[in-house]
Chains A and B, each alone.
Chain A
Amino acid sequence: MIYVWPVAVLTLIYLVLTSNFTLNNIVAGMVVAVIVLLLFRPQSGNLAWKRLPTAVLASIKYIIRLMVDLLVSGIQVARIVLSPSMPINPGIIAIPTRCESDLSRALSAHAITLTPGEMVVEISEDGIMYTHMLDVTDADEHVREAQEMRETMLKKIFE
């Protein structure tokens, strides 16, 4: 029963990619989706239906936030690259994370990489993310603030 949603989503993606909505193709998409699911075996997290609306809203907010971050980081790196003197002070700093599960840690690292001038190089066992930054001068405070905000958003999605 838990596999119904993944199959539906995967089938939809297949249909979108092939842009062919005949019955044959829908059946073919379902077969492909089932094969993919058999190969990957998703872990069945207990989906809490009660808090689904909040989670979906939080996810949408989070995606918009990521888009804005991508835009800002593009502009910032472009400015650094195009300026003749190349004003960078590169370095690696440690950012602690409060996220517990593997998935939210991975998403958190992903979000950090999308934020301006930061890129996760390594994650240690206890969840400290070592992040390469183009400009490490007075980075600490700024980073901690952004990290707090992102983690509250992720918490809203997952808990």
Chain B
Amino acid sequence: METIFQLIAIIAITVGTFFSIVGVLGMVRLPDVYARLHATGKVGVFGVVLLLVAAVVWTPLGWARALLLIALLMVAGPVVAHALSSAAYRIGIPMKRPVRNDLEQK
């Protein structure tokens, strides 16, 4: 049982770290504010959630706190992305090479 938990934790840490790195890479590589928020708002949250999953199965003490944090992060991540993108659009930051923009025609 102990070994299985350790295995799960190791996998979660590895994958979580990978996705956190991808989040940072996306922040650098993607072209504009809106696309970058996809990387930070979702992939970044996903990475942290996986690290917390590792904390849940690894440490016996902090599991309730970690579950609560996962729930709060899943609520907060998209809301932050939404708020930032909305603010960016309102002050008129343009998209780079948009294929289509329904909001413009409104």
- Checking B29, B61, B74, B82 against A81 with a beta-carbon cut-off of 8 angstroms, the contacting residue is B29
Q: Bound complex: CA of A77 vs CA of B45, how far in Å?
A: 12
Within 36-78 of A, Cβ neighbours of B (below 8 Å) are at 66, 70-71, 73-74, 77-78
Using A74-B46, A86-B29 as known contacts, say yes or no to A92 and B78 having CB atoms under 8 A apart: no
Residue from the set A17, A70, A119, A122 with the largest chain B CB neighbour count within 10 Å:
A119
A136 and B68 form a contact (CB under 8 A)? no
Q: Bound complex: CA of A91 vs CA of B35, how far in Å?
A: 10
Q: Bound complex: CA of A15 vs CA of B59, how far in Å?
A: 18
Residue numbers of B with Cβ under 8 A of A are 18-19, 22, 25-26, 29-32, 34-35, 37-39, 41-43, 45-47, 49, 61, 64-65, 68, 74-75, 78-79, 81-82, 85-86, 89, 95-104, 106
How near does chain A come to B72, taking the closest CB pair, in angstroms?
10
B-contact 0/1 string along A120-150, CB 8 Å cutoff: 1110100000101010110000000000000
Using A74-B19, A92-B95, A94-B102 as known contacts, say yes or no to A113 and B30 having CB atoms under 8 A apart: no
Closest to A13 in B: B68
A82 and B79 form a contact (CB under 8 A)? no
Q: Bound complex: CA of A81 vs CA of B49, how far in Å?
A: 20
Using A90-B96, A119-B85 as known contacts, say yes or no to A82 and B22 having CB atoms under 8 A apart: yes
Decide if A155 is an interface residue (CB 8 Å cutoff).
Answer: no
How many residues on the A side are at the interface (Cβ–Cβ under 8 A)? 37
Closest to B29 in A: A81
B98 and A90 form a contact (CB under 8 A)? yes
CB-based closest 3 A-B pairs: A113-B78, A91-B100, A74-B46
B29 and A78 form a contact (CB under 8 A)? no
B34 and A132 form a contact (CB under 8 A)? yes
Closest to B30 in A: A81
Query: In the complex, which residues of chain B have a beta carbon less than 8 angstroms from the beta carbon of A74?
Result: 19, 42-43, 46-47
Q: Bound complex: CA of A137 vs CA of B102, how far in Å?
A: 14
- Checking A82, A88, A92, A134 against B102 with a beta-carbon cut-off of 8 angstroms, the contacting residue is A92
Q: Bound complex: CA of A7 vs CA of B48, how far in Å?
A: 29
- Checking B19, B96, B100 against A93 with a beta-carbon cut-off of 8 angstroms, the contacting residue is B100
B99 and A136 form a contact (CB under 8 A)? yes
Query: In the complex, which residues of chain A have a beta carbon less than 8 angstroms from the beta carbon of B99?
Result: 89-91, 136-137
How near does chain B come to A146, taking the closest CB pair, in angstroms?
15
B82 and A119 form a contact (CB under 8 A)? yes
25 inter-chain pairs at a CB distance below 8 angstroms, sorted by A residue, are A16-B65, A70-B45, A73-B42, A77-B26, A78-B19, A81-B30, A86-B30, A91-B95, A91-B98, A93-B100, A93-B102, A94-B103, A109-B82, A113-B41, A119-B34, A119-B81, A119-B82, A120-B82, A120-B85, A121-B34, A121-B82, A121-B85, A122-B89, A132-B34, A136-B100
